[in-house]
Amino acid sequence: MSTYTSLEKNRKLCGTAAIALIDPDYKNDSQLSKMLDLVNKSNFDAIFIGGSLISDNLFEMRVKYVKNNTDLPVIIFPGSSNQLSQYADAVLFLSLISGRNPQYLIDEHVKSAPIIRNLNLEPIPTAYILLDGGIRSSVEIMSNTTPLPMDKHDIIVAHALAGEYLGNKFVFLESGSGAQNHTTSDIVGILSDLLTIPIIVGGGINSAESAKHLSNSGASYIVTGTQLEDAPTIDDLLRFTEAVHLNEK
């Protein structure tokens, strides 16, 4: 069974899936083991691993460490074609369709495609839409793209539909790490009524209440990363994953 199929099978059972995002940069080395232990004990459904900027050449070593210390699917959430590893189960093959920078519409894909094939890494085509979360995010800076305003529902809908019609398996609504404002429930609700593919929501989702609202509005996957870096307790994370899962696992 492919990683995508397994993810979707589990997601349909629990209603909405909870995803832990781990940034494999050296700044997190001292707490990587603790973060992973918290994730393993907190009822998450999968791990996304990646970041906008990796400041050394130890990405693959950290992916291997994560894979060797969890039973959860490990999926690369790449900031560039340099973030690939044979130790992951799959990679989100992201197209930043909200921007017009050709590097993130096709260039990085051409560079990474032969490597993905050689690594026998499962690609999951994903339409990546950057929304304005109230801060200038790392994604915005590194990709040199402008996020879509949250109040421009018609423009967001047009991009999401284009992402589905291009054959992507996911639409990913991203507000950026540490966003002041996460994607609104209104946007998720509108898109869930129009799209036939799952919606991933990430960026600024740091409370169980927010996660619950987004799940109830039609989000298929809820991603949290910054929360893991803020020394949460297991109880904090269990409240979060319980809020995400609309059905009992």
Q: Which residues contact 85 (CB under 8 A, 6 or more apart)?
A: 59, 60, 63, 64, 76, 119, 121
- pLDDT higher than 80, residue 249: no
- Tokens at residue 234, please? 């297991």
What is the average pLDDT across 118-141?
Answer: 96
* Per-residue pLDDT tens over the stretch 157-195: 999 999 999 999 999 999 998 899 999 999 999 999 999
**Cβ neighbours of residue 152 closer than 8 Å, sequence gap 6 or more:** none
Kindly list the structural domains of the chain, giving each domain's residue range(s) and its CATH number in brackets, ordered by start.
Answer: 3-244 (3.20.20.390)
Q: Which residue has the higher pLDDT, 227 or 200?
A: 200
pLDDT at 231: 81
pTM score above 0.85: yes
Largest distance between two CA atoms of the chain: 44
SS (H, E, C) 200-240: EEECCCCCHHHHHHHHHHCCCEEEECHHHHCCCCHHHHHHH
The pLDDT of residue 113 is 98
Of all residues in the chain, the percent with pLDDT exceeding 90 is 90
Give the residue from 45, 11, 15, 12 showing the smallest Cα distance to 246.
15
Q: What is the pLDDT of residues 159-168, one digit of tens each?
A: 999 999 999 9
Whether the per-residue pLDDT at 221 is higher than 60: the answer is yes
In this prediction, residues 127-155 reach a mean pLDDT of 96
Q: Which two tokens stand for residue 47?
A: 């791990």
- Comparing CA positions, the residue from 137, 169, 170, 134 lying closest to residue 149 is 134
Token output for 65: 């460490």
User: 19-62 pLDDT, tens per residue?
Assistant: 999 999 998 899 999 999 999 999 999 999 999 889 899 999 99
Q: Residues 81-103: pLDDT tens digits?
A: 999 999 999 999 999 999 999 99
Residue 150 has pLDDT above 70, yes or no: yes
